[in-house]
Structure 1
């Protein structure tokens, strides 16, 4: 093993997150100064960072594995259903709680036009989900799982992922109330990852469903009711993630043989 390869193996996570965070901060900051759709390509920082560091640290075989996870589709049909429907179910639960607590669905919700909606769907699936999940779930998660419980790995990744979103709060005016959703949501991603042999495709579908369902639920409320809907969504996400941990345990369905503290990345049964 060359000294450069050894260096990239040792500091793979540090280098990956430096690339992911740098592209996010630079992209959103420059977008706030010089608005242009081109800055949107910085969303692909996690994908590019994961691919680059994998190539430098793990060579051709590691790179092949990195990309193969993106198209790993041979998993049980139930996991496709869960990835697509879980976010919808959680949003429906939040909607119900919001209505029970006094909110009123607006009589004239402002949904996107058909053409804009199609564009947004394509953007979410092939730009946002594909730009983020190969890096976060295909690169970072397998490494965080080594020597840690699945719950610990999920929470660490959730916090690091939330930091990646920080420029949205600083430069784009987004509310940081979504941070608990990002962190608790990481538990669902890891649970699916553990049950689908490390399929990044399933993670992409879950991510896409979270974002796409937002387009249909957000216009249903306005003003204080809209704020309360988001608060209820945080409550539902955190409660559901907590329940999942109680039911499945700290390993979130991971096999015991994948938990050894000295397990190498290549030996992890969940991602071979």
Structure 2
């Protein structure tokens, strides 16, 4: 009978975390690396890669695929169903809902204004309908990653370290995981600098940590948070949005310092309903 991750000893949960990371990087770096080092062959066989290419979706879904694999292996189909029930957790302090729905967009708008850009992203020639379509397509990209990052990695790490350090570690790993995309033509990352993006990833992972814990392991809120980061209505504010986010993250960490630097109250369940270690 499968054993849920919560029932495993710490050395076993560490192996589960390593397995998750190994599979995540193998899928993403394998796909993106093939397009970098075997560009002509991959393009000839599968077509030019872009943000809407099926293989780009596969590379983006790697954390979710790895997360599902770890849960299935550890807890079986029943455990996977309970894992997915975390999508239905929406209770959270109103302040965090406001942060996701209002503060995140304001960060992008402020960053864009600082660099002399527009308040909202310019509409494409096809009109607002095309942007709305892209916005909903984005639901199937970045937010799906959260099945892995906050679904599996965050609670496993919080068994070992305080939430702040779990956020920093996931943010650093998240940033490095994106690195090959910066050498890939045809996607937005090729237009950005890696260092501000890497720092931004750490800031974002730290910012979503108190939301995740306040919502008791919800997958819904981190997914909504992630969706706001790639919402096509918000303007491209790189690198100023990063520096603003660093300041916001510092304020949030100070505000929630009692919970960020202690494991008391930190979510450690991957599969709901199981005993904690």
TM bucket normalised to smaller: 0.7 to 0.9
Pairing of 1:88-167 with structure 2 (within 5 A): 88-96=105-113, 98=114, 103-105=115-117, 110-112=122-124, 113-130=127-144, 132-167=145-180
Pairing of 1:1-272 with structure 2 (within 5 A): 9-31=13-35, 33=39, 34=43, 35-36=48-49, 37-42=53-58, 43-96=60-113, 98=114, 103-105=115-117, 110-112=122-124, 113-130=127-144, 132-172=145-185, 173-175=190-192, 176=194, 177-212=196-231, 215-218=233-236, 229-249=237-257, 251-252=259-260, 256=264, 258=266, 266-268=274-276
Give the 3 Å change call, closer, same or farther, for CA 121–61 of structure 1 in structure 2.
same
Residues in 2 aligned to 1:247 and 1:86: alpha-carbon distance in whole angstroms: 16
Give the 3 Å change call, closer, same or farther, for CA 70–110 of structure 1 in structure 2.
same
- Give 1:195 shift: 0.8
Give the 3 Å change call, closer, same or farther, for CA 104–9 of structure 1 in structure 2.
closer
- Give 1:191 shift: 1.0
Residues in 2 aligned to 1:107 and 1:245: alpha-carbon distance in whole angstroms: 28
Give the 3 Å change call, closer, same or farther, for CA 216–107 of structure 1 in structure 2.
closer
3-state DSSP of counterpart to 2:25: helix
Residues in 2 aligned to 1:41 and 1:107: alpha-carbon distance in whole angstroms: 29
1:104-163 deviation digits (Å, cap 9, x = unpaired):
346997423334312211111133312x01111111100011131110000000011111
Give the 3 Å change call, closer, same or farther, for CA 45–104 of structure 1 in structure 2.
closer
| More displaced stretch, 40-49 vs 194-203 | 40-49
- Give 1:91 shift: 2.0
3-state DSSP of counterpart to 1:197: coil
Q: Pairwise CA RMSD of aligned residues?
A: 3.2
- Which structure has more relative contact order (CA 8 Å, sep 6+)? It is 2
Give the 3 Å change call, closer, same or farther, for CA 93–114 of structure 1 in structure 2.
closer
TM-score, with structure 1 as normaliser: 0.79
Give the 3 Å change call, closer, same or farther, for CA 21–88 of structure 1 in structure 2.
same
Residues in 2 aligned to 1:109 and 1:256: alpha-carbon distance in whole angstroms: 41
Aligned residue-pair number: 248
The structure where helix makes up a greater share of residues is 1
TM-score, with structure 2 as normaliser: 0.77
Residues in 2 aligned to 1:264 and 1:142: alpha-carbon distance in whole angstroms: 6
